[in-house]
Amino acid sequence: EVQLVESGGGLVQPGGSLRLSCAASGFSFSDYGMTWVRQAPGKGLEWVSATSASGATTYYAESVKGRFTISRDSSKNTLYLEMSSLRDDDTAVYYCAKQSKGVWPRLDYWGQGTLVTVSS
Partner 1 sequence: DIQMTQSPSSLSASGGDRLNITCRASQSVGSFLNWYQQRPGRGPKLLIYGASNLQSGVPSRFSGSGSGTDFTLTISGLQPEDFATYYCQQSYSATWTFGQGTKVEIK
Q: What residues make contact with partner 1 under the rule CB under 8 A?
A: 35, 37, 44-47, 50, 59-62, 95, 97, 100, 103-108, 110-113
Count how many residues are written for the chain.
120
Identity at 9, one-letter amino acid code: G
Distance CA 116, CA 84 (A): 12
* Residue 72 vs 111, nearer CB to partner 1: 111
- Closest by CA position to 34, among listed 63, 62, 2: 2
As measured in angstroms, the least distance from the Cβ of 13 to partner 1 is: 27
As measured in angstroms, the least distance from the Cβ of 48 to partner 1 is: 10
As measured in angstroms, the least distance from the Cβ of 23 to partner 1 is: 15
Q: What is the DSSP letter of 29?
A: G
Do 62 and 75 contact (CB within 8 A), yes or no?
no
* Residue 27 vs 47, nearer CB to partner 1: 47
